[in-house]
Chain A
Amino acid sequence: MTNTLHRFGTPDTLNNDFIVFAMAAKGFNEQGALDKAKAFLRAAIKYQPINMGNALVNSLYRPEKDLTFIKLYFVGRQQKTTYEKLIDEIPGPGSAAVVFDDPNKVKNFVRDVKQLDLGLSINISALVDDVRNICGEVEITPHAVEYTLGFHGDTSRLPERDTLSLTTMCGHGMVSANFAKKMIDRVKEGRMDPQEAACCMAKFCVCGVFNTTRAMRVLNRVKKGQ
């Protein structure tokens, strides 16, 4: 399951963040869904998505469970796996997600997916008007829309907006507020660069829906004290 409905930000800060995902419906079309989900992900490779994932195997960015002194200090760490390896590893049907930072790539990818006619449900999470523009260009009539109405209740318990923009890019809450704050502080202190910090956070989002480009945008802005 991807979980992308409640990303925090204003329309200005949420632009160029697109999550496209494929899902089978239990009891309706899960037969053969594994191969179809893999075909969906393979079709995305051409457009070089910035992240990809499946909750059964993890995302492109993932932890290393066998770090050694040699790897850490001589060979260097391996921050992410390859698209092909990730797709080959998927063991069973589940949702498959790809993230883009460019509406043109989304448009072309969705056009390809439409032609593939996989029969899986395809959803896009993004600014709704951007999705409607893409649908118009590829001649798709949307079936349903789900809006976020934001955060309510005791919102005094939420962190400040930059931290929240980073944490809510993993809808399952696996990028904690304390960790996002630590990454912000390290970038501001010049101890990590925005790209390193974005990759570091992406490893905690197992569905692969964390948008590293948008994270770098947030981190670059806070780095300059904006």
Chain B
Amino acid sequence: MKISKERCVGCANCVPICSVGAIYIGDDGLAEINTETCVECHNCYRSLSFEHLQPGLTRTIRRVLKKMSLRFQPDPDVCPTEAFIPDELSWPRIVRRAFSDPMVTHESTGVHGRGTEEVKTNDVSHRIKAGDVGVVIEFGRPGIGVYFREVQKATMALAAAGVVFEEGNPVTQMMADRAIGTIREDVLDEKVLSCIVEVTVSLADTAKALQTVKQICRAAETVISIGVSTVCNEDGSEPLREILEREGYQTGWAKVNLGLGRASNASISTGGTRS
């Protein structure tokens, strides 16, 4: 992302908008983006409202108002001169946008966002089986961001613990060697708003897997959000909550798949059996 020096009038409205704090007012009084910090999420360009004021005239008005100790202050969600210019991104920088912009479909999964469909469509795909637990470890969330070099430290630790990475996940797709958890060298210096590492373990191994994740978290320089999922029994109950509470986790907020989906594409048999 870039900000046009010709168009910007330095109102600073965009400074707090940036999802990772990459925008600042430079020595010339105009907004700039720290390209190393920017994760190309397009939040500034997409979600600020645009007014189309003439930049030269607006700067003059700002100067005059300043002399009178008054301030030119557009609404907090407005860039008054539409000063943002999205860059044409190429590899490897384009990885930043793929993982950070929620409106971009990730090539390897076909879903918008940073991971797979997890258990959200499990009533149809039956990817996670009864007796299994899906663990999603989201690096950089909420709102901090992460470099793939740091994610690699965690994926290597997980691989050493013998976990199997979820096939359809975008981070798995970028691994150089899944057996040792290395990520392709050319993306290691790319920063994203967040990315999800997904593994599946058996219910019996859940506590052990969470201990490994806890150790990874202790060494982390970013924040990490953890989610765990499981399939319910025939009566709707599930054994995971008890395990989590025994491990000292609170289990208040959750995402519940109601089981109303079914496979219906022409090439697939319908039915929607539980598993």
Contacts and interface: CB of A to CB of B under 8 A. Distances in A.
A94 interface: yes
Interface residues of A, number: 93
Nearest to A136: B236
Given A29-B264, A142-B259, A206 B254 contact: no
Nearest to B43: A174
Contacts of A21: 120
B16 interface: yes
A130 to B, nearest CB: 10
Interface string B46-62: 11111110000000000
Contacts of A150: 225-226, 249-250
B102 A3 contact: yes
B227 A121 contact: no
Contact of B265 (A29, A72, A152): A29
Interface stretch (B87-95, B123-131, B157-165, B181-189): B123-131
Contacts of A113: 260
Contacts of A119: 260-262, 264, 272
B9 to A, nearest CB: 15
Contact of B258 (A24, A140, A154, A183): A140
Nearest to A143: B259
B155 interface: no
Contacts of B232: 141-145
B264 A114 contact: no
Contact of B142 (A63, A128, A143, A164): A164
Contact of A8 (B120, B142, B262, B268): B142
Interface of A: 1, 3-11, 14, 21, 23-32, 55-56, 63-69, 72, 77, 94-95, 110, 113-114, 117-128, 131-132, 135, 140-155, 157-159, 164, 167-168, 171-174, 176-179, 181-183, 186, 192, 200, 203-204, 206-207
